[in-house]
Structure 1
Amino acid sequence: MDLPAADALSTAILGQDTLGVAATLRAGGDSGGDPVPVHADLLSLVEAGPVPGVVLAEAVSGRVDGVAESVHELTSHVLDVLQGWLADDRCADSRLVFVTRGGVVAGEDGEKAPDPVVAAARGLVRSAQSENPGRFVLVDIDDELSSSVLAGVLASGEPQVAVRGGEVWVPRLARVTPDSKAGGDVRSWDPEGTVLITGGTGGLGALFARHVVAERGIRHLLLVSRRGLDAPGALELRAELIAHGVEVTVAACDVADRDQVAALLAGVPEEHPLTAVIHTAGVLADGTIPSLSAEDLDVVLRPKVDAAWHLHELTRGLGLAEFVVFSSVAGTFGGAGQGNYAAANAFLDALVGVRRAEGLAGLSLVWGAWGREAGMTGGLGEVDLRRLARSGMVALSAEQGLGLFEAAVGSGGSVVVAARFDV
């Protein structure tokens, strides 16, 4: 993209030493200018005098305790920074630029998979952007960020960019058609294998359990939920599927608990090995950025992030035909009031990138809103649905959603937005 000429920037660095963002900011730019001041935290920044017009904060993954744990740690830290920034009126006229590394794949082919920990933090910031237009910017860098490139990015008004070799890339959706397949392998599902569906007795889980039986001839299902057969409708669903000649196991399992997932997988019979995973599980705990707590983050991250990572690691050597995770447009566009949900789903999108880079099956279905007959939007009223329509997104019917599922699986793509837009 063409960028405007750089203007003089009043810039500071938040929470990093001079070997971090400050060094990369100086490296490509005005070597004769004043050093960029570095502040240990937000308090020291605001107490140093007027807050500069641009403040940079680096969001990087420590990876000390493992991937899932690192997601909880980094998103909690970023949430603290966001909340402190929004709560202090002295920051009201400044922009906070979150600098990440490897959080997205951009540029030419051959770039490695995204870092799912950093991707989750970026999802959280995208929701903050939705709630507070113009106050936050996301910049993902490879090596350097010159002051001139930063100035051009800020002048462009783009909320998120990636800088690769001094070039600036911006995210855009592209329509997937039968003639524009992504080039990935489309693997067949063995009807005699077992298909595992998390959230398998919920609205979407039950919908897709019926679908893979009717359309893909699957004869062995492992439906998993926290309550198992005690979940509402679970007994009826099992009886319905058995009546169609399907062998169905409904298991109570907390898929965010690695030991429980390992025990669950160990119980899959050898004569019907695991063929595919469809991870639909998820919960909502909506709230705007100022109102979110660390607990609100954890309760939404666990069934998405922790569960998907355990399933990824524990099925890595099984040669699955498909590993489908149900994501959300909140992680792609940001969703006001859904920062925790956006973070969790942005992680899922990046996890599929990791799997594909390892040669494993993987598809992230980035769902738009579903109609009231399915999904977690089942409780929406007419007012909510009209609000969605005004945003340009039209709710999916069950039939439309199932059709998009088949189209996405057949496309060979890795991350596919499955939504209806009124353009």
Structure 2
Amino acid sequence: MTSGDGEDAPMVAAVTTALRDHGAETVAFDPNTTPSLAGRPVAGVLSLLALDDARPASDDGRGPALAPTVELFETLRRAGVEAPVWLATRGGVSVDVGDPMSRPEQAGFWGLGSALAMERPRCWGGLVDLPHWFDDRAGRRLVGVLAGAYGEVEVAVRGDSCFARRLVRDVPTALATPARRLRGTVLITGAATALGAHTARWAAEDGAEHLLLIDNTAPPAADLVAELGASGVRTSVATLDVADPEALAAAVAGLPAEFPLTAVLHLTAPLAAEAGQLEMARIEREWAATVAGAENLGALGSAHELSALVLGCSVVGVLPSPGLGNQAPAHAYLSALAQECRARGVPATSVCWGSIDDPDTAVGAAKQLRANGLPALPQRSAAALLRQAVMADTASVVIADIDGAWMTAHASELGTHRLFDDVSGPSNTPHTHRGR
């Protein structure tokens, strides 16, 4: 058992007690200081490293300490230990509206876990999220999860209940009576992409009076701006990186007073173009490149009365994607960040994108997603499904064309096992999936 520290030290002690009370012999294990485990029988490893809130002085306080967990697997490999390793988090997932997301950075471990399940399958156990209050009932449930009593590998323990992770098909319905209507200024990032153009058009159709179109590389096409203007919608454009808080604040401060900011649609955080094996340095680079912009946009939800906040990320944070594990922790965090915003009263939606048929996306990553059972979704279909999610005030959604047969055939090697149990039958049309 690897231990955490910080404010969760009482949780570590409670978990240790629960394991011992149910017959387990526990040994505290620090991957940095403990001597070799060679020759010592190990039935399983429960990592509580995610519960350690200690951060280096240079850390921004939001990113999870993933490096010790990666080092743990390397230490076990060197010691020849192939026992199943379970990663424990706390507040990293939400099971319902009464269980708000409290520590979204912990979701990064769920993204990391999906990558480790693929790359280290012989020593992978699963993921378990612990409750805020850990009592005897929770202890019994945790022991049952670790012992395989439920046959689940991604579980949230809540009191005397356990919740398993599933994808649920959400069949698109007509938008005759949407839950919301846009007004004022709608901010759209990734506006120079084809998906951005389609999104700008439906935002204008659904009531936006002013559009602030932002892209970090180039302004949106002049003909799109002209088209929107001809429809009676005022449009402003800005070329800036939303990871720059000052540049973003200046763009928002320059909005017309009569059109206050009412919606933010952050379409997606780009994936790195290259695929590769799990590597801590690449995980950290991806985190740095992905997270800051989404956090800056999420902060607008506290400063403005928004009717919609979309934080787009990649499906790699939800579905194991061979070759793209380095990107998974950051994108899992983005999805959780939206849920934390919703818990604070901001009407946020987490949108996890699959592969989109867009020449503006990273070619290498898009090719890898298609090879991973995610055929490219037409741009117009992607924008229409985004509109569906926004107007229906959906909390969390995967928008992807998922090859169910491919996913089922590769379930064991992906470590997903029962993730698709509630998605019945093959799908040959674009669709959304809600996670639970």
Identify whether the pair has TM-score above 0.5, normalized to the shorter chain: yes
Report if the CA contact (8 A) 2:194-2:379 is conserved: no
The secondary structure found in structure 1 opposite 2:65 is helix
Provide the secondary structure at the position in 1 that maps to 2:323. Answer: coil
Structural mapping, 1:26-65, within 5 Å: 26-31=16-21, 33=23, 36-42=26-32, 44=34, 46-47=36-37, 49-50=39-40, 52-58=42-48, 59-60=50-51, 62=53
- Within 2, Cα distance between the matches of 1:92 and 1:374? 44
Q: Residue 266 of structure 2 corresponds to which residue in structure 1?
A: 279
Displacement, 1:26? 3.7
TM-score norm. by structure 1 comes to: 0.79
**CA contact under 8 A between 1:274 and 1:318: conserved in structure 2?**
yes
CA distance in 2, matches of 1:42, 1:180: 56
Q: Which residue, 407, 413, 416 being the options, matches 2:388?
A: 407
Partner of 2:193: 202
Residue from 130, 138, 155 that aligns with 1:141: 130
Counterpart mapping for 1:173-322 below 5 A? 173-177=167-171, 186-190=179-183, 193-213=184-204, 215-229=205-219, 234-235=221-222, 237-242=224-229, 244-285=231-272, 286-293=274-281, 296-322=282-308
Aligned identity (percent) is 30
CA distance in 1, matches of 2:22, 2:108: 37
The question of whether the paired residues in 2 share the 8 Å contact of 1:29 and 1:148 is answered with: no
- 2:335 is equivalent to residue 345 of structure 1: no
- Partner Cα separation in structure 2 for residue 70 and residue 212 of structure 1: 35
- Match for residue 101 of structure 2? 113
Residue in structure 2 matched with residue 3 of structure 1 by the alignment: none
Q: Deviations over 1:347-405 (max 9, x none)?
A: 22222222222222111112222124564458756xx57634xx3x4321122212211
Q: Are 2:111 and 1:127 aligned? A: no
Distance 2:370 2:181 in 1: 39
CA distance in 2, matches of 1:179, 1:216: 17
Unaligned runs of 5+ in 1: 1-11
Q: What RMSD, in angstroms, separates the aligned Cα atoms of the two structures?
A: 3.5
Distance in 2 (alpha carbons) for counterparts of 1:120 and 1:180: 35
Determine helix, strand or coil for the equivalent of 1:251: strand
Cα offset, 1:255, TM superposition: 1.2
- Indicate if the aligned counterparts of 1:79 and 1:289 stay in contact, CA closer than 8 A: no
- Answer whether contact 2:188 2:212 (CA < 8 A) is retained: yes
Inter-CA distance 405–134: structure 2 relative to 1 (3 Å threshold): farther
1: CA distance between counterparts of 2:223 and 2:68?
44
Distance 1:180 1:119 in 2: 33
Please give the alpha-carbon distance, in whole angstroms, between the structure 2 residues aligned to 1:276 and 1:344: 23
Indicate the larger mover: 17-26 or 336-345.
17-26
Deviations 1:22-71 (A, max 9, x none): 523343344385751112225525357536231121113628699x9234
Q: Deviations over 1:222-254 (max 9, x none)?
A: 12223444xxx6555445544555433221322
Does the residue aligned with 2:63 lie in a helix, a strand or coil? helix
Shift of 1:81: 3.8
Q: 1:307 to 1:75 in 2, by over 3 A?
A: farther
What's the secondary structure of 1:413's corresponding residue?
coil
The TM-score, its normalising length taken from structure 2, stands at 0.77
**Matched residue SS, 2:34:** helix
Distance 1:328 1:357 in 2: 22
**Cα deviation digits, residues 108-153 of structure 1 (max 9, x gap):** 6522224211012221222221333353321111115647743544
Equivalent residue letter for 1:350: A
2:371 to 384, 387, 391: 387
Q: Assess if the C-alpha contact under 8 Å between 2:190 and 2:215 holds in 1.
A: yes
1:189-245 CA distance string (max 9 Å, x none)? 11xx211112222343233223323x325342212223444xxx6555445544555
1:160 paired residue number: 154
* Count of aligned pairs: 392
Counterpart residue type for residue 150 of structure 1? V
Which residue identity does 1:247 align to in structure 2? R
Q: Secondary structure at the match of 1:325?
A: strand
On the 8 A contact 1:222/1:251 being kept in 2, the answer is yes
Q: How has the CA–CA distance of structure 1 residues 122 and 135 changed in structure 2, closer, same or farther, with 3 Å as cutoff?
A: same
Are 2:355 and 2:366, in contact at CA under 8 Å, matched by a contact in 1?
no
1:74 aligns with 2:77: no
Partner of 2:422: none
